[in-house]
Structure 1
Amino acid sequence: MKLESKIKEYLDYTKWIPAIGQGAIGIEMKKDSSIKSYIENLNHKETSICINTERMISKFFNASCETPLGAYAHLENKNIKIFGMAANPQTKILKKNQ
């Protein structure tokens, strides 16, 4: 789309940890859809691995969309690197970890 010149700032994911799955695009369709083979070609394997890893964190904490939890996973030299954040609204304690 050639919009790189419009970017004003890149957010550092080690300091600004996004919500789980932030920025991922999901496509929902019937299991037996005739266009399934075409849609599967849109899947980006590395992104799928990272998003599924982030979702595992959400499941581990039994989190909902209201849980103050963030995670960012990315592949680095065939390893998954995860940055996470959890907060406790009652105690106002924020924990970050890699």
Structure 2
Amino acid sequence: MLDGYKIFMQEFNITEDRLIEFGIKETVYVDQDIVREEWKALKSRVLDGSSKVFIRGYGREARGTDLYLTMYSNIFGHNQFFKDPTNNTSPANMIK
């Protein structure tokens, strides 16, 4: 079986340690106080439906997402759950 990472690292002469170092160095971190407050706000929105909560799509081409939206609606008693249009819009906006 082919391992795409190994092939890539061999082709570009990158060691596993160097790849890990790069990943750590280039990771975008968010201030922990902001993370804590946003987490509290998200939990509140999930529980009370005060504003939209975005989820990632489920399944190939997100065809199963409606199953999750229905389940969340039934569990939490509101319809403020929506599929994130790109599966990354909400997280990217949060980091900005």
- Do both proteins adopt the same fold according to a TM-score greater than 0.5, normalized to the shorter chain? no
Q: TM-score, normalised by structure 1?
A: 0.25
Higher RCO (CA 8 Å, separation ≥ 6 residues): 1
Q: Which has the higher helix share?
A: 2
Q: Which has the higher strand share?
A: 1
